[in-house]
Amino acid sequence: MEATFRVRVLTAERTVLDAEVVSLQARGSQGFFGVLAHHAPFITALTPGPLTLKYPGGRREVLQVGAGCFEVSGNHAVVLADTVS
């Protein structure tokens, strides 16, 4: 069974996504980064670009996010973005 973690994607207006995922990739201020279950805690600024999510079973979803910030801690990740499509 694949290890998962909870990810929440939020804007000021709404919760876009609240799901269990296997991995995610995003574009931070220092370049692209990836997160797996039980990742070490960190916070970074996000730059506009793709947020790629991989779900258990292999399904992938790509969201386009605007500028914002990203935090991972305690097997939970939060994406705060000004826009998400």
Convert the pLDDT of each residue in 8-21 to its tens digit. Answer: 999 999 999 999 99
Identify the sign of the CA torsion 40, 65, 19, 80.
positive
Q: What is the pTM of this model?
A: 0.94
Structure tokens at 29: 């201020």
CA dihedral 25, 6, 16, 46 (to 10 degrees): -40
Question: Rounded to whole angstroms, how far apart are CA atoms 85 and 73?
Answer: 25
Question: Rounded to whole angstroms, how far apart are CA atoms 12 and 75?
Answer: 23
DSSP 62: E
Q: For 47-81, what is each residue's pLDDT tens digit?
A: 999 999 999 999 999 999 999 999 999 999 999 99
Quick one: pLDDT at residue 25?
Answer: 98
- Given a cut of 80, is residue 1 above it in pLDDT? no
All structural domains of the chain, each given as residue ranges with its CATH number in brackets, are 5-81 (2.60.15.10)
